[in-house]
Structure 1
Amino acid sequence: MIVAYGVANLLQSVAAARTDLHTGFSPRLLLSLGKRKTYLAGLLCQTIGFLLAVLARRDLPLFLVQAAVAAGLGVTALLGVLVLKWRLPKAELALLGALSAGLAALVVSARPHPSRQLGLAGDVGLATLLVLIGAVGFFAARLHGSHGSVALGSLAGVAFSAAAVASRPLAGMHSIHHILTYPLLYLMIAHSLVGQLLLAMAMQRGSTTSAVAAMDAASAVPAAAVGLLLLGDEIHPGREWLAAAGFLVTLLAVIGLSFYAEPQHHPEAVRARVAVGAGSSRSANRPD
């Protein structure tokens, strides 16, 4: 799942940087991106990662799974070094080490347990949240630059967080008929589509890693809280401190990686480095 999300981040960032800027909150951006093979490949990787995440949420607490999803940014950074010739400062190596340590702490502290069901109140809450995200996203789409990137990335994270919350009890069901007739399935799909649109808009407005880091933070924290408070997520007795430390270290490492990779994720830099990676270094180094 971590590898799939890491590859998806890289491919989608390249596609978003090479697509004409869309300033409004419109699904036309996804249609434009859908014409690019790079984006479709990234979407396939993201779908694989999403399905693996759903399977993981069947027994694992959301604080572990969502932190692991965020850790995909570390894979993105490593792939950027190998494919797009990004630089990897020593500080970034330290952050990757911290990211691995944080995930290891979460794995050790997490206690597998099936989810509780949300009930009608949870379904209504997720539906209301979907409307609110769409309304706020309509106005956030008018923001540009880093502010727009972070705002839209955060909204995408909230949408993906809601999709994760919906998928946790859904993953524990064994009847296909029950799953297909359960409102959580369609709420999960709707939140995922809205989150995908918001993330694509965020990637177009500035640093991809700023957008992804904002998304990961906004996705991990609410889902972890809801999982512990409402869904019955469990921590091994006596390891609560380890879970808290692992979650905090993982989140801070992801945010730190975004700052170090920011110049390399700027749309112009992405275009230039894609050209370098494709063997067109002379063209990439010519002034515009």
Structure 2
Amino acid sequence: MVCALGASVCFGTATVLQAIAARAAGPGTRPSDPSEPPDPSGVDAALFLRAVREWRYLAGLALDGVGFVLQIAALRSLPIYAVGAALAASLAVTAVAAAWLLGVRLSGVEWGAITVVCAGLAMLGLASGEEGTKTGSTALTYAMLGTAFAVLLVGAAAGRLPGRGRALALGLGAGFGFGVVEVSVRLIDSLAPSTLFANAATYALLLGGGAAFLLLTSALQRGSVTTATAGLVVGETIGPAVVGVVWLGDRTREGLAWLAVLGFAVAVAGALVLARFGEAPVEGAKPGSGPKSESEPESEPGSAPRTP
């Protein structure tokens, strides 16, 4: 659980850095002719290539790398549902960091949501048993590989949706991609090169993680990041948790299944309340100003960020 919480700290900080870099790289995606329709693809590979030139994006990737190592360590000892809920708590980490370092004002509801997330994780920590002993079938391994390909298709189709629907689809797609990574880690039994490269789960992990990064980068720059982040939290927690319980044998401590279910629901619900903190703080914003509220109009896809 310590590794899972450490991963959430890394991911929460990385999201802010990557969001700033993605927004800074965004103007290049805007059509030169206002009458020209936006890019029909939800996955903007060119945006990703521009974003990685930003030091903040590279710093975010470095934190993601550290977080990924901690996530793998957690997944080798804890059920997927516990790790997924801990990763969703990265939004609480981001909210606290924004309040402390950037002067973002948190409402009473948001402070309450942070408390709720912590309470949910505490319940999960008390109720979680050891990871399941099932290794997963060959069919499940190839299902993860197929899901990783489907994530790319979702990204391509998302560009045809209206603004908020596009953000939700990109966020969900990214969440499913990271969910593929969580499950695939459990499906890899050996790190011996001959076994590793013969395992379809290895390619599912690489493809799912890469596709998720592409979709998340586009989601952070296109439309409502709050909506995209909510989709991300749902996609990377619920699906993998079900797979872990049904197909991999994840269980709780004797008689505490109800506490694990309650803790998972409470932690994810609290994270969803904090979804606006997937939004990067805009450079030049006045101290004490938070991300734009949902009532403000969204920026056009590819446009520069709107100052709160």
TM-score tier, shorter chain, comes to: 0.7 to 0.9
Q: Which residue matches 1:241?
A: 258
Say which of 20, 23, 27 aligns to 1:17.
23
The CA distance in 1 between the partners of 2:203 and 2:142, in whole Å, is 12
Say which of 143, 150, 165 aligns to 1:147.
165
Residue 15 of structure 2 corresponds to residue 3 of structure 1: no
Residue 164 of structure 2 corresponds to residue 158 of structure 1: no
Q: Percent identity?
A: 30
- CA deviations 1:33-58 (Å, max 9, x no partner) are 11000011011111211111111101
Distance apart, 1:11 and its partner CA: 0.8
- CA deviations 1:12-32 (Å, max 9, x no partner) are 111122222544323222111
Task: Give SS of 1:111's match.
Answer: coil
Distance apart, 1:173 and its partner CA: 3.3
Give aligned pairs, total.
Answer: 271
Q: Which residue matches 2:62?
A: 44
Conserved 8 A contact 1:166-1:185: yes
- Which residue identity does 1:219 align to in structure 2? E
Q: Which residue matches 2:217?
A: 200
Say which of 226, 231, 234 aligns to 2:248.
231
Structure 2: tracts of 5 or more residues without a match: 1-6, 30-38, 289-306
Task: Give SS of 2:283's match.
Answer: helix
Q: Which residue matches 1:270?
A: 282
Structure-2 change in CA distance of 1:90 and 1:253 (3 Å): same
Conserved 8 A contact 2:142-2:201: no
Q: Which residue matches 1:282?
A: none
Say which of 109, 120, 126 aligns to 1:102.
120
Q: Name the TM-score, length of structure 1 as normaliser.
A: 0.87
The CA distance in 1 between the partners of 2:103 and 2:224, in whole Å, is 17
Question: 24-33 vs 248-257, which deviates more?
Answer: 24-33
Distance apart, 1:276 and its partner CA: 5.5
Determine which structure has the larger helix proportion and give its number.
Answer: 1
The CA distance in 1 between the partners of 2:165 and 2:283, in whole Å, is 22
Conserved 8 A contact 1:16-1:200: yes
- Which residue identity does 2:242 align to in structure 1? A
Structure 1: tracts of 5 or more residues without a match: 278-286
Task: Give SS of 2:274's match.
Answer: helix
Distance apart, 1:245 and its partner CA: 0.5
How do residues 61-210 of structure 1 correspond to structure 2 at under 5 angstroms?
Answer: 61-170=79-188, 172-173=189-190, 175=192, 177-210=194-227
Q: Which residue matches 1:283?
A: none
Q: Name the TM-score, length of structure 2 as normaliser.
A: 0.82
- CA deviations 1:167-223 (Å, max 9, x no partner) are 1232x5364543343221121011000000001111112343432221011110000
The CA distance in 2 between the partners of 1:59 and 1:148, in whole Å, is 36
